Structure 1
Amino acid sequence: MSDKIQSDPRAPARRKFWQKAGWRDATEIAFAADASFRRYFRLTRADGRAAIVMDAPPDKEDVGPFVEIAGILTGFGYSVPRIEAEDRTAGFLLLEDMGDLTFTRALEAGYSEGELYRLAGDVLGDLVQRDISGIRDRVPAYSDEKLLDEAMRFVDWYLRRGLGLPIGDDAREAYAEAWRSVLPSVRSVPEVLVLRDFHVDNMMVLADRQGLAACGLLDFQDAVIGPASYDLVSLLQDCRRDVSDEVADEVRARFFGAATEITDRDGFLRSYNVLGAQRHLKNIGGFARQSVHLGNHSYLRFIDRMWRFTLQNFSDEALAPVREWIEKHVPENHRVTPPPGGRAA
């Protein structure tokens, strides 16, 4: 066992967990950390078999929602990591290893962008048709209050702490009021199970499976019941990479073809644009927080692209109140990447 593993205070309990689950002869290797308190480790046996351990400190994370949403998605026929063992009290799950071929890596290896995005979009087109009446009491709602709370990260962490701009409380409240006037427009679409982080880093190519099952789904524990437009804009306006206009148009067309419940396409695109702006501004604030509060500067490289998407979404007049607030308080020379660690306001 490496010095790094030995210095990990949760390592003894984690090792005891996976040994009890039948992996006593395995070796453990850590994955790179993400933007949460969860950590992941791959267990490998001498015969080549592998599994994944999720380590979620119970005072920081709850593995319960992952187990709950995994059960729902499995019931829908989608591919998610099978849960082999669990200790919810200690915050450990033993999961099926779905491999290393994320959509991100597949694209870098030369896989067809069109084929991968069509598959992902088809999952969303199928998801919008699912009856969610039986899961509404098991999955939280994506309320306007929650959407607003997320949007406020832009002011609190990006403007104030990241850039050090003197945004007063009155201006902050005006920003909140602008969003309150805009958010009702996102509700003109069907409600679905929203996975919330539906992007190329959280999808796996499963070449041995057919149809929608060929798309492995990861990182869905924060799922909510909310607008069907949210995951589509998460997929097509991804801060990690640009999707070609041709592919994006095709994915949207296939989505509308499957989601016959959506009869007001203008209303859907309005919801799409508003939630796109909300998501980007939320993440600009969230990534600034990662840098300022946690010392994780790796996400700052995405901020320029998120600004570009935000300004693109602002062409929708439904976003006029938020756009006008940005034009007044965040002129173009302040739409920048903050320095690592931020600036104190």
Structure 2
Amino acid sequence: MERLQLLENWIGKQFPGESFALSPASADASFRRYFRATFPHRTLIAMDAPPGQEDCIPFLKVAGLFAAAGVHVPTVVAQDLARGFLLLSDLGDTTYLRALDEDPGSADRLYRDAWTTLIDIQRASRPGVLPAYDEALLRRELNLFPQWYLAQHRRMPLDAARNAGLEAVFDRLVRNALAQPCVFVHRDYHARNLMVSAPNPGVIDFQDAVYGPVTYDLVSLFRDAYVRWDEERVLDWVVRYWESARRAQLPVTADFAEFYRDFEWMGVQRHLKVLGIFARLWHRDAKAGYLEDMPRVMRYLRQACARYRELDFLHALLEKLDEVSSGTRIGYTF
């Protein structure tokens, strides 16, 4: 029996005698699928997370942690962990991304709610509860860039010198990330995973949460792969978050310039990872939907690298990629 039929039968057993219809709600970059179960007087969200590829337990754990912090997350209505099924309350279908597209004037209000909720998550942080965002994980993510974006997507040859240069940059990025104070990290705190709801926002897709750098989720939010804001506005939002975080006694540095540098360097790590993931989704999984977002992420990456001498090698590498794209004949000399 196909999983969709199994899921439908399971939902029916939770509500005997009640009629409902299943329709696709959303899909993400993993094996998880989401369906909206529409009953006569309410809707619920069904998660299909095939065992072997996905694990529902982290979702349940993080949902409990975030809910205890006062964050609006889906309530678990029913669960079947053996089959990888969860039935959740429905936070609606208006993502931040959709709301911002329909009404850009709502941005200040929506982002203020988002960083206020982020502070609630961070204030609840404690070590030893979530997996550590450690050096091994940071490096695995960084290595997606040469493996999938450079080698597979851009067909750039990777010789010993180029690998050594990238490793030196990666070392600096990892050291910077590990030196930052640690908090709970959602890991994908962006406009597709924030829902316009009451209370606002509703937070979803948090099952990969870790304990790691304090600037990480801020980068996900303000250097979003799916929506871009001008740098002056982002700087203003980061300042406002930082001021609120200081008042909340979160472990952010007292020097804003240092904090903003950490934010930008953390962004470089995330942008490299995201480019690698988007390339892998296309070349391995035939998911083309993320290709159109690559230029936005690359622009973030290039702008950040251009501001720091320690990232000169990476900036030069990105410039070479642009020359290749424009058809300029070049020789790789670094």
TM-score by length of 2: 0.89
1:241 lines up with 2:227 in the alignment: yes
Alpha carbons 2:166, 2:314 under 8 Å: kept? yes
Deviation at residue 304 of structure 1 after TM alignment = 1.0
Provide structure 1 residue ranges, at least 5 long, that are not aligned to the other structure.
1-7, 338-345
Alpha carbons 1:14, 1:92 under 8 Å: kept? yes
Deviation readout 1:219-278 (Å, 9 max, x if unpaired): 111100011100111111112111244542332122112212422323322221111011
1:50 lines up with 2:43 in the alignment: yes
Secondary structure at the aligned position of 1:298 is classed as helix
1:108 lines up with 2:101 in the alignment: yes
- Gap change, CA 1:336 and 1:242, over 3 Å in 2: farther
Match for 1:118: what amino acid?
R
Deviation readout 1:36-62 (Å, 9 max, x if unpaired): 1000011011x2311000001111110
Q: Which residue of 1 aligns with 2:332?
A: none
1:90 lines up with 2:83 in the alignment: yes
Structure scoring higher RCO (CA < 8 A, sep ≥ 6) equals 1
Secondary structure at the aligned position of 1:73 is classed as helix
Alpha carbons 2:34, 2:45 under 8 Å: kept? yes
1:76 lines up with 2:69 in the alignment: yes
Deviation readout 1:75-124 (Å, 9 max, x if unpaired): 00010000001111111100001111111121122151111111112222
In 2, distance between residues paired with 1:228 and 1:97?
29
Match for 2:170: what amino acid?
W
Alpha carbons 1:78, 1:216 under 8 Å: kept? yes
- Percent identity, please: 33
Q: Which residue of 2 aligns with 1:223?
A: 209
Deviation at residue 144 of structure 1 after TM alignment = 1.9
Q: Which residue of 1 aligns with 2:193?
A: 202
- Aligned residues, how many? 319
1:22 lines up with 2:15 in the alignment: yes
1:269-308 equivalence runs, <5 A: 269-308=260-299
- Please report the RMSD computed on the Cα atoms of aligned residues, expressed in angstroms: 2.1
Q: Which residue of 2 aligns with 1:343?
A: none
* Equivalent residue for 1:141, pick from 118, 132, 150: 132
TM-score by length of 1: 0.86
* Equivalent residue for 2:305, pick from 314, 318, 328: 314
Match for 2:73: what amino acid?
V
Q: Which residue of 2 aligns with 1:327?
A: 316
Alpha carbons 1:98, 1:204 under 8 Å: kept? yes
Match for 2:128: what amino acid?
D
Q: Which residue of 1 aligns with 2:183?
A: 192
In 2, distance between residues paired with 1:189 and 1:328?
27
